[in-house]
Amino acid sequence: MPLVHISLRSGKPETYRQAIFDGLYRAMRETFNVPEDDQFMTITQHDGADFRYGASYLGIARSDDLVLIQISAMNTRTVEQKKALYGRIAALLGENPGIRPEDLFVNLIEGARENWSLGNGLAQYA
pLDDT at 81: 98
Q: Which residues are catalytic?
A: 2
93 pLDDT above the threshold of 90? yes
118 pLDDT above the threshold of 90? no
What rounded mean pLDDT belongs to the chain? Answer: 96
Neighbours of 58 (CB within 10 A): 6
Give the pLDDT confidence of 29-72 residue by residue, as tens digits.
999 999 999 999 999 999 999 999 999 999 999 999 999 999 99
| DSSP letters spanning the chain | --EEEEEEETT--HHHHHHHHHHHHHHHHHHH-PPTT---EEEEEE-GGG----TTGGG----TT-EEEEEEEETT--HHHHHHHHHHHHHHHHHTT---GGGEEEEEEEE-GGG---BTTB-TT-
Domain ranges of the chain: 3-67+74-115
Give 3-67+74-115's CATH code, choosing from 3.30.429.10, 1.20.1250.20, 3.30.1120.80, 3.40.50.20.
Answer: 3.30.429.10
20 within 8 A of 58, measured Cβ to Cβ: no
